[in-house]
């Protein structure tokens, strides 16, 4: 069992780390405060080839989920909101189109998305269909030379700057099975509402969508009709690995900040890092960060080898996201009153981390997924 990164993985990690520290980090706090979009940074990442990392070589990628996880962790360490935009764009919006789209569709839409010309959005969630995806009300009706799609989607990442939306819909009112459709963003009837203001991850655009009799050609049904969720399983696993990697980044940032602060903050005549109460907190944080990273890379490794990874991806996402929240919370405790102020990024880490316990399936859904993979039946 080899835990060393390959030379290619190390080189990519170094490139993304340099970009994250030099370009992304300086404005992270300001983007959070003003809820400014990360689109310009994602465009730069497209030009550098980062958006294509897990895709096939013909699209400029390496086909490596491990490399993708390493890159997302580096971005998430300095700006989790950008990490969300990156992970959702690539793991959901682009990989799904790569897997299910026709050659013409990929040439027309996937190429520009990977170059950073525009973003890709994945629209599954609705008001009454989040964890219960099969309860979606959006419909796609056969009409003339194509489909007419109507419905409402909620909390869609990257929608404001999307060039296309991959939206799920039911093609038969009596069926709970979903299909997935490619909807160009300029289609009449597609309305993207302004981004919502969130507790955390504020620089990641999260929009509601309205689909009012949006027409698309027959071939914009991707894959097989009524099999959206099975067909998208690979992308959904990748999405969970992406969230886990962002969470590892937040947890690592929290640990690093807390360790540095504890070494220079003096109380009772000595640095607080010399008190066992603080040492125990830092030690626990270090253990959990390392465990979360290993779980995330294991899930990515399994996915790259086309081995079953549903349970591994859910485990990584569950543990890493909850680790990020715990690490940020403990870091704030070590900072004390200073950490509660806006002067330091600790309070941002905590706000951002909480969102990772919800997006891409809540912690409760991850636990259910793990239980099902262990052979436990539904009640």
What confidence score (pLDDT) does residue 229 get? 85
Dist CA 371 CA 11 (whole Å): 38
| pLDDT band at 174; cut points 50, 70, 90 | low
* Residues 6 or more apart in contact with residue 55 via CB below 8 angstroms: 61, 63, 90, 94, 95, 98, 114
Count of other CB atoms within 10 angstroms of residue 229: 16
Q: Is there a contact between 113 and 59 (Cβ–Cβ < 8 Å)?
A: no
Dist CA 88 CA 162 (whole Å): 11
What confidence score (pLDDT) does residue 173 get? 61
Is 252 known to be catalytic?
no
Average pLDDT over residues 128-135: 84
| % the chain with pLDDT above 90 | 91
Tens digit of each residue's pLDDT (9 = 90 or more) over 259-279: 999 999 999 999 999 999 999
* Residues 6 or more apart in contact with residue 283 via CB below 8 angstroms: none
Tens digit of each residue's pLDDT (9 = 90 or more) over 58-70: 999 999 999 999 9
* Apex 130 CA angle, 129 and 132, nearest 5: 65
Instruction: Tell me the CA distances in angstroms from 267 to 271, 334, 335, one per residue in order.
Output: 6, 12, 12
Catalytic residue among 219, 347, 360, 364: 360
Average pLDDT over residues 19-28: 98
Statement: residue 209 has pLDDT above 70: yes
What confidence score (pLDDT) does residue 76 get? 98
Instruction: Tell me the CA distances in angstroms from 342 to 23, 24, 90, 333, one per residue in order.
Output: 22, 19, 32, 15
| pLDDT band at 257; cut points 50, 70, 90 | very high
Statement: residue 147 has pLDDT above 80: yes
Average pLDDT over residues 340-366: 96
Largest separation between any pair of C-alpha atoms in the chain: 80
Q: Among all chains, which residue has been given the structure tokens 């990584």? A: 316
Average pLDDT over residues 325-334: 98
Domains belonging to the chain, first-starting first, are: 7-119 (1.10.540.10), 121-226 (2.40.110.10), 232-373 (1.20.140.10)
Average per-residue pLDDT in the chain? 95
| pLDDT band at 114; cut points 50, 70, 90 | very high
The residue with greater pLDDT, 45 or 234, is 45
């Amino acid at each position: 069992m080899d835990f060393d990164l390959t030379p290619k993985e190390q080189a990519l990690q170094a490139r993304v780390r340099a970009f994250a520290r030099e370009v992304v980090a300086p404005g992270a706090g300001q983007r959070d405060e003003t809820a400014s979009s990360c689109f310009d940074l994602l465009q730069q990442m497209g030009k550098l080839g980062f958006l294509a990392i897990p895709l096939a070589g013909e699209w400029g990628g390496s086909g490596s989920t491990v490399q993708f996880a390493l890159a997302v962790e580096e971005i998430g360490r300095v700006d989790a909101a950008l990490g969300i935009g990156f992970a959702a764009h690539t793991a959901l919006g682009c990989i799904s189109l790569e897997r299910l789209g026709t050659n013409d569709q990929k040439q027309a839409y996937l190429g520009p998305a990977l170059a950073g010309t525009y973003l890709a959005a994945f629209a599954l969630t609705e008001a009454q269909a989040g964890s219960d995806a099969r309860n979606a009300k959006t419909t796609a009706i056969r009409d003339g030379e194509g489909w007419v799609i109507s419905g409402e989607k909620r909390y869609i990442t990257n929608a404001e700057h999307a060039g296309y939306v991959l939206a799920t819909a039911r093609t038969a009112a009596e069926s709970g099975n979903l299909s997935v459709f490619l909807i160009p963003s300029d289609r009449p009837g597609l309305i993207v509402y302004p981004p919502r203001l969130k507790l955390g991850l504020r620089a990641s655009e999260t929009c509601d969508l309205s689909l009012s009799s949006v027409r698309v050609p027959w071939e914009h049904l991707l894959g097989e009709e009524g099999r959206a969720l099975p067909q998208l399983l690979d992308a959904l696993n990748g999405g969970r690995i992406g969230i886990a990697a962002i969470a590892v980044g937040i947890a690592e940032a929290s640990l690093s900040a807390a360790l540095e602060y504890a070494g220079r903050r003096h109380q009772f005549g000595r640095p607080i890092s010399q008190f066992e109460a603080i040492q125990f907190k830092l030690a626990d944080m270090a253990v959990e960060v390392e465990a979360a990273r290993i779980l995330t890379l294991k899930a990515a490794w399994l996915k790259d080898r086309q081995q079953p990874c549903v349970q591994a991806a859910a485990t990584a996402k569950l543990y890493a996201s909850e680790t990020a929240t715990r690490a940020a919370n403990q870091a704030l405790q070590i900072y004390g009153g200073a950490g509660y102020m806006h002067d330091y990024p600790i309070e941002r880490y905590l706000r951002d981390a909480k969102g990772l316990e919800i997006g891409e399936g809540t912690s409760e859904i991850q636990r259910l997924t793990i239980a099902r993979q262990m052979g436990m039946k539904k009640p």
